[in-house]
Each structure stands twice: as structure tokens, then as C-alpha cells.
Structure 1
Amino acid sequence: MSHPVAGGPGDRAARVTVLAGPTAVGKGTVSAAVRRNHPEIWVSVSATTRPPRPGEVDGVHYHFVSPEQFDDFVASGDMLEWAVVHGVHRYGTLRGPVQRAVAEGLPVLLEVDLAGARQIRQALPEAQLVFLAPPDWDTLVERLVGRGTEDAEERARRLETAKVELAAEPEFDVTVVNDEVERAAAELARLMGIPSAGQRS
């Protein structure tokens, strides 16, 4: 069964954009800057089987669902992408809210990991995949190990993971370099077809 969600590559009015990249590259920071500067952008709220933490609001921070509900979403094809995180709880992007946002003509941004981006590529081949890259390897290493909270073995594991993740860049339609958060956010908004403040009427 096909699930049409957005127009083709030339359709800028209702386009799904997927943002992914290596660990510690700053996806959440850039995504937050885009939301702050362009509140018209619709950003997906993930579903999860983990219980809410203090202060978290259902439908705002996450859609909190039972494992049985999550099973039903997966079985019915209602998940665009999903994964098990830390071997315990599942997280995923619900198809329905994305479809509704596109139907309303809203620019849609999905912030996911690399595995999620690959799943969305299969489910929505018309989506625009944006790879968020560090300015250079040394900067990513600094971000990964700069906290000083991991031992040498954990740092080595994270760096090996980052190398694998960086190698996925050719799978994406376009790369945005996160050398400066506001600049990267502005470039992402431009790729989504959203004019900058100076271009608005």
C-alpha cells in the first residue's frame, strides 16, 4: 500500500525534509534554531513507549504510548520510522500527523537518526534528506570527547561510530555544515523553501 505524503522534488509548498547526521553534530540545536526563527515549520513529535519524565507533556515532548499501541502502529504501517533505543524503549515517527501537516501545506521537518532517515527514504522517496555535517573531523572529535565523561574505551567506540555515520553522507540529497548554528539553521530553512526575514514581504 502506498502512502503519498508530499509532492515531487519540485514541490516546495508541501515538502518533507529529513535532518540527520553523526552523533554530536548538533541536530537538536540546529532544529531548535529553525523552530525558533520559523515557527511556521511543523516539526514532528516522536512516539515512545517509555513513560513520561517529570514535566514532560504528552503530545508536546513525545506521544507517550503503550508497547501494545506501538505494536499496532508498526503492524498497520502507521510508523514512518522507528527503532529500539538502548535496548529498552521504542521511539518512532507517526505517519498520520506528518500527512495532516503536509495536507495543510505546512513545511515539515523530521529530525531523526541515520537509521530513521534510511527508513523514511524507503517510505517517502520524495522526501528531501539533509545531512548535517561537522566543519571538520577534529571539531566532531572535540564535541564527542570534550565532556570528559566517558572513559577511553567509550570514546574510541563513539569515534568509530562517528566514522561510520560520516560515511553515510552520500546517501543524502544535500549537506549542511554546522559551522555556526544560526547560519546552518538559515541554510536548512532555505532548503525547505522558506524565505529569510529580509526576503519576506
Structure 2
Amino acid sequence: MSKMLIFTAPSGAGKTTIVRHLLNTFPVLSFSVSATTRKQRPHEQDGYDYHFITKNDFIKRIDTGGFVEWEEVYEGLYYGTLHSEVDRLWTAGKHIIFDIEVKGATTIKKAYPEESLVVFVKPPSEEVLFSRLRERNTESPDSLAKRIARAAEELTYENSFDYVLLNDDLDTALAEAEQVTRDFLNL
């Protein structure tokens, strides 16, 4: 039976780095590509990094039950997991790995309680997390302030999930993530 390994954390905690490492380490894993209405960044590929869709299309898919989970993460910016994405990966016989925000992780866990494990990636401290976000230089001052406020709220979810992974030292965090993956998938 295929399983879902869900990595969640505030933006800047390192979940994407960990998920990419696990994808390179475990061929049985396939990445669940989220849908979003945000603008595509120059280095991103549609269908690989995200499914970039219009706000109108996103809302139509909400209305027709096309999402396992979805959220308006920032005003006017929607993110979600398409049922078709989960079906595609499970039909291929893959275990699915997610890189997703905390509310989406909660929703997927409720929808698939037996098939999923949610790992919360914890930054060393709020200060380190906020510093990482500022150092990215990918945000306007206004969007950075919103991202920091959201990250502070998301840190309060730490004890809501199956496993907390401290990302203080990257090599240690990667080794621990590998062990959690082996244990969950019985590898």
C-alpha cells in the first residue's frame, strides 16, 4: 500500500531542502506537485515546481471538489493539492512526499490518517527562521512582513504532528529525516 510522507514547516525552516534530499535518496518516493495561483518565478517549471493555474481555474476546482486540501495562504494567493496528483502518483505505485504548509498538512492527515506521517521541521529559533527569510531577498518589504507573521503563527503547530525534526545542523537533520523515512516506509 502506498503511503504519504508529509513535511511541513514555516517558510524558511528548511523543509524543501530536506524533501529534495529524500527524493534523491529514496527512488520509491515521488513529489506531490502543488497547484498555486502565485506568479511563476524565473527558475521554476510548471508541472515540476508547481502547477501554475489562474485564480478562476483554482476556484472552479475548489467548487468541483478537485482538491484534497487548499488554502488562501496569502490574500489572493491560493495553494492546494489536487486529487488528480495523488491519484497519478498512487497509480504509478509510488509513495508520495509532500512539502506543504501546516494547515494543508493537517487536512491531508485528516483525509488519510492511516496512510500518512506528518513531520514538522522545526527551525533552531524564531530569530534564525526570520533571518533566513530576510536573507532570501525574494520578497517586497510588505510580503516579507506577511511571511514572517505567518511563520510565527505556524510555529505554534509544532506539537500537532506525528514527528518534530529539529533543523539546527543540516547534516544531522538529513540523517534523521532518512531514518524517519526508512521506519515509516519499512525500508
Return the TM-score normalized by structure 2: 0.76
Secondary structure in 1 aligned to 2:173? helix
Matching residue of 1:95: 83
Aligned pair count?
Answer: 184
Q: What is the CA-CA distance between 1:130 and the residue it aligns to?
A: 0.7
Within 5 Å, give how 1:69-88 maps onto structure 2.
69-88=57-76
- Could you tell me how far apart the structure 2 residues matched to 1:146 and 1:90 are? 24
Does structure 1 conserve the Cα–Cα contact (< 8 Å) formed by 2:126 and 2:152? no
Between Structure 1 and Structure 2, the one with more strand by share is: 2
- Could you tell me how far apart the structure 2 residues matched to 1:174 and 1:139 are? 21
Secondary structure in 2 aligned to 1:59? coil
Matching residue of 1:108: 96
Q: What is the CA-CA distance between 1:167 and the residue it aligns to?
A: 2.0
Indicate whether 1:36 and 2:56 are aligned.
no
Letter of the 2:11 counterpart: T
Matching residue of 1:173: 162
% of aligned pairs identical?
A: 34
- Could you tell me how far apart the structure 2 residues matched to 1:79 and 1:63 are? 13
Q: Highest CA radius of gyration, 1 or 2?
A: 1
Indicate whether 1:184 and 2:164 are aligned.
no
- Could you tell me how far apart the structure 2 residues matched to 1:36 and 1:191 are? 15
Indicate whether 1:59 and 2:25 are aligned.
no
- Could you tell me how far apart the structure 1 residues matched to 2:144 and 2:57 are? 36
Q: Name stretches of at least 5 consecutive residues in structure 2 with no aligned partner.
A: none
Matching residue of 2:4: 16
Within 5 Å, give how 1:138-149 maps onto structure 2.
138-144=127-133
Between Structure 1 and Structure 2, the one with more helix by share is: 2
Secondary structure in 2 aligned to 1:96? helix
Secondary structure in 2 aligned to 1:31? helix
Secondary structure in 1 aligned to 2:177? helix
